[in-house]
Structure 1
Amino acid sequence: MNTERLTLAERARIHAALGDPARLAIVDTLVAGDAAPGELGAALDLPTNLVAHHLKVLEDAGLVLRTRSEGDRRRTYVRLRPDALTAIATPALLAAKRVVFVCTQNSARSQLAAAIWSRRSHVPAVSAGTQPAERVHPRALKIARRHGLDPVDWHTSNLGDVVRRDDLLIAVCDNAYEHLPSEQRPRLHWSIPDPAPMDTDAAFESAYTEIADRIDRLAPALSPEATDSTRSTP
């Protein structure tokens, strides 16, 4: 979707889709991260049939798309189309003292995400894995250096050894999201395909680009002022 080339009819369809309060609430929820239809229903207190109807309208308008989980193939996740964000206002998001990016092995996506985040935000960021590998993937190191990141101190860590109660967890893969501790809040989910199975520079570059785009959208919403305001909260 290129909003500079949308026809009047396409623009009208987007505005009509966002004219319903429930659909606008779904879009607001998906600005921060991806979600399964059932999760949207639970978060917004909507029955299954209404969630399905509203998602169909949003899909027809080109605002959202569905992807199948790389973990549990029976699950699907809904995500915003990146270009569609130019047509909507980003809502206020939660504050966080620290961000923890999580993937299964902590060998590529989460490492890249923490490094990119540290360039974009004053909010501290670290990375961890639910089943950490012994080392960071060599192609992740290569892509990091290509973009001017310094991976010399990168090492894998177990989520249980890293996470704190008030961290904002951002799972950058489906498997990790589906295995996060149920009591851990707040959390976000970014359904970013695992580049390791393809094991090409192009796959890792694609993961880098999507992570960077998502961070560019989220980082401004977690301002230093918002973070400072949480420090007095027990």
Structure 2
Amino acid sequence: MNAEWTDGLRRRAELHSALSDPGRLAVVELLARGDASPSELSAALSMPSNLLAHHVSVLVEHGLVARTRSEGDRRRTYLRLLAHELEPVTSALPRPDRVLFVCTANSARSHLAVALWRRASTVPAASAGTHPAARIAPGAAAAARRHGLDLLDARPRQLDAVRQAGDLVVTVCDRAHEEVGRAADVHWSVPDPVPSGSAAAFDRAVAELDRRVTDLAPRLV
């Protein structure tokens, strides 16, 4: 047995141990659907905040979960499931009539998410914003061209004018998530590339959205 193989077995054993508690497995199950704050997880699981904090600390220690600070209120923390070798959660979600991606300005992330979604799934997709901008961000249009994505006739639109019954609402912006609250079914805490405006920031946003889309699309059955 070589050292790499032995180290791999040890790592897998540690991850299985971290997931052996039903409470921690429940946290991972919910985070597999999307990012969430500790208070959202505590409410969803009817779990005391101190017990949830313990479970989250164990998952963070084992490299299964990461914490990020909200770009919205700057006080809230979001928890996100990290990719790892066990792939322990593969639960399916009900197939919606449409996936609706929402951010604040509806000028970048939500449109890029739609373009990526159309490449990965036959489920229809649309986007909207809580406070739509006047136009698509130039950096988003440039990123779409670099990555071979078609934004079609994309333009910023107001959430209330776009949302329909049967939508799976996915917020891709912390501010939008904090504004719509429980109206969001799934949250992806994707950093906003617009303030930087750099090609690298937009490419990182596309990569993160692509990873999330690739994970969610096959689970809608």
What band does the TM-score fall into relative to the shorter chain? over 0.9
Which residue of the partner structure matches residue 29 of structure 1? 30
Residues 181-196 of structure 1 mapped to structure 2, 5 A cutoff: 182=182, 184=183, 187-196=185-194
Q: Match for residue 14 of structure 2?
A: 13
The residue that corresponds to 1:231 in the other structure is none
Q: Residues 116 and 85 of structure 1: is their aligned pair in 2 closer, same or farther, counting only changes over 3 Å?
A: farther
In 1, are the aligned partners of 2:15 and 2:86 still within 8 Å (CA)? Answer: no
User: Are 1:10 and 1:61, in contact at CA under 8 Å, matched by a contact in 2?
Assistant: no
Contact 1:69 1:77 in 2 (8 A): yes
Structure 2 letter corresponding to 1:14 = L
Structure 2 vs 1, CA of residues 32 and 5 (structure 1 numbering), >3 Å: closer, same or farther?
A: farther
Report what 1:50 is aligned to.
51
8 Å contact 2:101–2:170 — kept in the other structure? yes
Deviation by residue 1:41-70 (Cα, 9 ceiling, x = unmatched): 111111111100000111111100100000
Amino acid at match of 2:172: V
Aligned to 1:228: none
Name the residue aligned to 1:132: 132
Q: Is the aligned partner of 1:95 residue 2:99?
A: no
Where do 1:51-200 residues align within 5 Å?
51-82=52-83, 84=84, 86-180=86-180, 182=182, 184=183, 187-200=185-198
Identity value in percent: 52
Contact 1:145 1:151 in 2 (8 A): no
Corresponding letter in the other structure for 2:189: S
| 1:226 alignment partner in structure 2 | none
Q: Residue 77 of structure 2 aligns to which amino acid in structure 1?
A: T
1:5 is displaced (CA, Å) by 9.5
Question: In structure 1, how many angstroms separate the alpha carbons of the residues matched to 2:175 and 2:203?
Answer: 21
What secondary structure is seen at the aligned counterpart in 1 of 2:43?
Answer: helix
Distance 2:140 2:202 in 1: 7
Q: Residue 152 of structure 1: CA displacement?
A: 4.2
Q: Could you say what secondary structure the match of 2:32 adopts? A: helix
Q: Which residue of 1 aligns with 2:211?
A: 213
Matching residue's letter, 2:46: D
> Structure 2: which amino acid aligns with 1:157?
R
What TM-score do the two structures reach when normalised by structure 1?
0.88
TM-score, structure 2 length as denominator?
A: 0.93
CA contact (8 A) 1:135 1:156 kept: yes
**CA shift digits 1:66-100 (9 cap, x unpaired):** 00000011100000112x26431311223211010
Report the Cα distance in structure 1 between the residues aligned to 2:154 and 2:160, rounded to whole angstroms. 18
User: What SS does structure 2 have at the residue aligned with 1:32?
Assistant: coil
Q: Name structure 2 gaps, 5 residues minimum.
A: none
Equivalence for 1:204: 202
Any idea what SS the aligned residue of 1:11 has? helix
Is contact 2:32-2:89 (8 Å) kept? no
| Contact kept in structure 1, 2:193 and 2:205, CA below 8 Å | yes
Report the CA distance between 1:210 and its aligned residue.
0.3
